[in-house]
Amino acid sequence: MTVKGRTRRLLVVDDDQAVVSLLRRGFSYEGFEVQTANSGEEALALARSQIPDLVILDLMMPGIDGIEVCRRLRSADPELPVLMLTARDGPEDELRGLEAGLDDYVTKPFSFDVLNARIRLLLRHSDASHRAQSEGPIRYLDITLDPAGQVAYRGDRRIPLTSTEFKLLHLLIRNAEQVLSKETILDRVWGYDFGGKANIVEVYIRALRVKLEEQGEPRVIQTVRRVGYVLREDELAG
- pTM attached to this predicted model: 0.62
Q: What is the pLDDT of residue 205?
A: 93
What span, in angstroms and rounded, lies between the C-alpha atoms of 119 and 207? 21
Q: Which domains does the chain have, with CATH numbers?
A: 2-131 (3.40.50.2300), 135-231 (1.10.10.10)
Q: Mean pLDDT, consecutive 10-residue segments, the chain of 238 residues? A: 70 93 94 93 90 90 86 83 80 68 82 89 71 71 85 91 86 92 84 58 90 93 92 66
Q: What is the pLDDT of residue 142?
A: 94
What span, in angstroms and rounded, lies between the C-alpha atoms of 67 and 129? 24
Q: Is the dihedral of CA 93, 94, 95, 98 positive or negative?
A: positive
